[in-house]
Amino acid sequence: MTSMAAPAALPDAEWSECLLPAGPVPREMAREVRRAVGALPGWVPRLAPSPWIVRAFRDTIQRPAAYLPRTFFDLGAVVVSQDNSCRYCYGAQRAVMKVLGYRDEYLDRLVRDFHVVDLPPGERAGLDYLRRLSRADPRPGRAESEAVVQAGLDRRAVTEIAAVAAFCTFNNRVATLLALPPDPIESLVRGPLFRFIRPLMARRMRPRARPPEPPPQPNDGPLAALVTALGDSPAASVVRRMIEGAWNSPVLPRRTRALLLAVVARALGCAYSEGEARRLLAAEGLEGSHVDEILTHLGSAQLDRREARLVPFARETVRYQPAAIQRRVRETCDAMSREETLETIGTVALANALCRMSVVLDAPRAAG
């Protein structure tokens, strides 16, 4: 599971060798990532075989939020990555924070207990809500989101926190399940030249205000209500693209992807996502009674060999310890191609993200 409190010395936590080697990056993909984030991060050569996962990483690290306080995305990412024991995201995000001028002492205090750092009450309550969403043990309800509004954050910002939780969930799971090695930015901020190049890097990485955007159109694919609930937040387009990217990728059959979503939804008690998965499975020709059987026992004669391995695995991605899940990924994806492995990990990560984000459907709609 995602632990109650991640170890303070996260860089020393048990973390296996990366599951996939770095590979060639298509020129267009490299150019797009460079244009968006100013450099070619270490994850690109590992994730390149799945363009939608690369796009999702690129989009989410650009902090797509219009209503949240500007620093919230970064603070939230470091808190959740630490809580999820994601060695890669925690190390990379901490390095980004150092580029942005945060001191180690502040970051230590933040991850130790964000309740004691100097933050407005709304942001502190927002971080608490974000961590509850990420843990989903259990998924927070309307009372918890209202508490954040009472503490001073705009209702639309609270909706965006659910999107931040989804993005962190996605990135942490992809990085942890693949066991991505530490990002080069970590050694850069430890290097002797860092203090000289920091201002230049900070200019490039500083969070910028993002205006609200028209909701994505069309929005008629899977889980459309979730995207609609994000309103005119820039997060809505990112979520739509992530869903479409996964759903339209030909590497895994749609039926398999919908089954993985259904299992994660059942594990997290997310009725909306399970309903959507059932609708998608019905469209793929799987009868409701067979879906019942699969979700009740995580197995069925209706499953093909690959699905029979992936269905029980999906359940284990909901809560885990990094070293244990990394061993499990190796066993599960043993006979699968690099592309299939990546797509499996991307799909379960997305399912976890969406099922956590679906709390936006419980909350009262934000006034636009």
Partner 1 sequence: MLWAILTVAVLIVLLQVRRSRRTVAALERRLEVASRGLESLQQAFSHFAPAEVVEEIIAHGVSTRSEKKEITVLFADLKGFTALGERLEPEVLVRVLNGYFERMSRAITAHRGHVSKFLGDGILALFGALEANPWQTNDAAHAALAMRTALADYNAALRSEGLPPLAVGVGIHRGSVVAGVIGSAELVEYGVIGRAVNLAARVQTLTRAFAVDVLVTEAVRDVLDQRFRLAPMPATEVKGVPGPLATFAVEAFDPTSDAPARPAGGRQSG
Binding site residues, partner 1, CB under 8 A: 1, 3-9, 105, 108, 112-113, 135, 137-138, 266-267, 269, 292-293, 295-301, 315, 319
Q: Quote the least distance from Cβ 91 to partner 1, whole Å.
A: 18
Pick between residue 267 and residue 348 the one whose CB is nearest to partner 1: 267
* Shortest Å, Cβ 311 to partner 1: 11
Task: Phi first, then psi: give them for residue 180, nearest 5 degrees.
Answer: -60, 135
Q: Which is nearer to partner 1, 249 or 300 (CB)?
A: 300
Of 206 and 297, which CB lies nearer to partner 1 in the complex structure? 297
Q: Which is nearer to partner 1, 125 or 163 (CB)?
A: 125
Nearer of residues 311 and 333 to partner 1, judged by Cβ: 311
| Least Å from the CB of residue 24 to partner 1 | 39
Cβ 276 to partner 1, closest distance in Å? 18
| Smallest distance from partner 1 to CB 12, Å | 11
Q: In the complex with partner 1, which residue's Cβ is closer, 13 or 18?
A: 13
Q: How far is the CB of 349 from partner 1 (least distance, A)?
A: 20
